[in-house]
Amino acid sequence: MAAAGLNRARDKYSVLLPTYNERENLPLIVWLLVRSFHESGSNFEIIVIDDGSPDGTWEVAEQLEKIYGSDKILLRPRAKKLGLGTAYIHGMQHATGNFIIIMDADLSHHPKFIPEFIRKQKEGNFDIVSGTRYKGNGGVHGWDLKRKIIRLYRKEVLQKLMEKCVSKGYVFQMEMIVRARQLGYTIGEVPISFVDRVYGESKLGGNEIVSFLKGLLTLFATT
């Protein structure tokens, strides 16, 4: 028990935060993340993976790095938009935490649930903790098929899943959970509420929605 307690005290959480045109949302999501981690007393870092946003997201990220420190805000940009799945893979290469949290920068899921994810993982020693709107008090506000789900992974589990996954776009997170079940990883669930994006337009256009649906069909046909 003492060893387990010591290991937990050393836990560090790396948030992978892909961004594209999130100039308005980014300061708010970072502030909420920092507050949530402080409330849970957890060690953390936030890895901002900006894909060449033309709206000034990068400049905002640089200011946030100055405010919170380069040990808490890690800027790991890419030259252009290369897909959500590859953004996570890129972020993983720079993560120093033993747990990884994947979420969106548009506030479709609130960082206030992170302490619950951390508690849930510790209670059941889960490999993965997933947010769901189908259990307990979870709710939905303006949520549709396009919205993604916040998840917490053991780093080594996420690395193995990334090696197995073939999806690179918005199906990536769904494939991750399917592959996890195939490989026998333990998955805990936390009921959370989803909201539609706070600022800006959805990233998904008509063609991307079609690609998303095709990706789902491919996923179910190959797993």
CATH code, 66: 3.90.550.10
CA dihedral for 31, 35, 36, 37, sign (positive or negative): positive
Residues paired with residue 46 on neighbouring β-strands, in sequence order:
15, 73
Provide the pairing of β-strand 151-154 with 99-102.
antiparallel
Task: Tell me the average pLDDT across 148-154.
Answer: 80
Question: Between these two residues, 14 and 147, which has the higher pLDDT value?
Answer: 14
Banded pLDDT at 172 (limits 50, 70, 90): confident
Domain limits at 210?
A: 2-222
Give yes or no for a contact between 127 and 40, defined as CB atoms under 8 angstroms apart: no
pLDDT of 139 strictly over 50: no
Nearby residues of 110 by Cβ (< 8 Å), 6 or more positions away: 32, 192, 193, 195
Which pLDDT value is given to residue 135?
43
Which pLDDT value is given to residue 10?
86
Which pLDDT value is given to residue 2?
44
Q: Token digits for 10? A: 């050393």
pLDDT of 173 strictly over 80: no
Domain count, the chain: 1
Task: Tell me the average pLDDT across 173-186.
Answer: 87
Enter the pTM of the model: 0.79
Amino acid type, 107: L
Amino acid type, 187: I
CA dihedral for 136, 142, 147, 152, sign (positive or negative): negative
Nearby residues of 31 by Cβ (< 8 Å), 6 or more positions away: none
H/E run at residue 104: none
Which pLDDT value is given to residue 59?
95
Which pLDDT value is given to residue 194?
58
Banded pLDDT at 94 (limits 50, 70, 90): very high
Banded pLDDT at 210 (limits 50, 70, 90): low
